[in-house]
Amino acid sequence: MNKWYGNYHALARMFGPMGALPTAEFIKDWAADPFTAVEADWAGNSQHASAPSNAAASGPWADHLIGVGSEWSLEFSGYLAGAIDAVERGIASLGV
Ligand SMILES: Cc1cc2nc3c(=O)[nH]c(=O)nc-3n(C[C@H](O)[C@H](O)[C@H](O)COP(=O)(O)OP(=O)(O)OC[C@H]3O[C@@H](n4cnc5c(N)ncnc54)[C@H](O)[C@@H]3O)c2cc1C
């Protein structure tokens, strides 16, 4: 029995029977990993950034490109709900 995960059933489901027999465990603080987080992450705003316009206002991409990822959602940027919201807005802007 593992005190962190309770058991290894989930690992066995993902990786097969050998997944239930780990030889070592590690705990890693990803926030301290220089390839994962930088100082700005530690001091940054804990909220997702507000969304930019989902379309180019001018230039060659104007009227040819619509952002439909979560980060373009006006209401739920950075969340799953934002992905749906951005796609719905993108489709609506096509008049479909
Ligand atoms: C660790 C973690 C935990 C999270 N927890 C939550 C949570 O609890 N609740 C919540 O609401 N949200 C959560 N989120 C955020 C949520 O997962 C995202 O907001 C959502 O998945 C964004 O959906 P998306 O469709 O915009 O982008 P994605 O899900 O990132 O989909 C983009 C897809 O495009 C593919 N792709 C990228 N480049 C190319 C390319 N050049 N060609 C072809 N395909 C490409 C990628 O492989 C990916 O499959 C979490 C995110 C992370 C990372």
Predicted confidence (pLDDT) per residue in 15-56, tens digit:
999 998 989 888 999 989 999 998 888 887 777 788 889 999
Domain extent, residue 38, equals 9-43
CA–CA dist 77, 68 (Å, integer): 11
Same domain, 14 and 36: yes
The pTM of the whole model exceeds 0.85: no
Q: Is residue 4 part of a domain?
A: no
**CB of 51 closer than 6 A to ligand 1?**
no
Q: What is the pLDDT of residue 50?
A: 83
The residues that bridge with 88 in the sheet, in sequence order, are none
**CB of 65 closer than 6 A to ligand 1?**
no
Same domain, 56 and 93: yes
In eight-state DSSP terms, residue 55 is B
User: Would you state the structure tokens that stand for residue 43, as one six-digit string?
Assistant: 């001091």
Same domain, 77 and 60: yes
Q: Is residue 2 part of a domain?
A: no
